């Protein structure tokens, strides 16, 4: 939904990501193998769990971060892109009708008369 709203290409479920200038090479698993996609940036890419594991910073990195300046950017108002018109629960499902295996005519009648939605 995000890529559609901002009109950018989308690649789902990446397992590997390589960045080369303004081009990204993304590997994703598909049925029976892997697919390698190249996309011009900017793009929206979703990743599978475990692709980017959190790393624990070392003490030297923590101490160096204390001396770095912290740049605070003020938020701006953005236009509203979506709106919730209503919210509700789906209708309750009807009960199940069991038809004995030897009553084929009854099953056909029920499929013609009551299973209209399918």
The values of phi and psi at residue 15, to 5°, are -110, -20
Predicted confidence at residue 44, as pLDDT, reads 95
pLDDT confidence bin for 117, thresholds 50/70/90: low
pLDDT confidence bin for 39, thresholds 50/70/90: very high
Residue 106 has pLDDT above 70, yes or no: yes
> What distance in Å separates the CA atoms of residue 114 and residue 94, rounded to the nearest whole number?
11
Share of the chain above pLDDT 70, in %: 97
> What distance in Å separates the CA atoms of residue 21 and residue 38, rounded to the nearest whole number?
12
User: Model-level pTM greater than 0.75?
Assistant: no
Q: Which DSSP category does 36 fall into?
A: E
Predicted confidence at residue 80, as pLDDT, reads 86
pLDDT digit string (tens) for 41-92? 999 999 988 777 777 889 998 899 989 999 999 998 888 888 889 999 988 8
Where are the domains positioned within the chain? 1-50
pLDDT confidence bin for 116, thresholds 50/70/90: low
């Amino acid at each position: 939904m995000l890529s559609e709203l901002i009109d950018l290409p989308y690649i789902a479920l990446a397992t590997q990501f390589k960045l080369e200038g303004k081009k990204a090479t993304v590997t994703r698993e598909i049925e029976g193998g892997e697919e390698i996609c190249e996309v011009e940036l900017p793009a929206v890419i979703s990743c599978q769990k475990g692709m980017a594991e959190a790393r624990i910073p070392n003490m030297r990195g923590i101490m160096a971060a204390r001396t770095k300046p912290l740049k605070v950017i003020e938020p701006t108002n953005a236009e509203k892109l979506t709106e919730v018109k209503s919210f509700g629960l789906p209708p309750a499902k009807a009960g199940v009708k069991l038809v004995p295996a030897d009553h084929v005519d009854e099953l056909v009648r029920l499929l013609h008369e009551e299973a209209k939605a399918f």
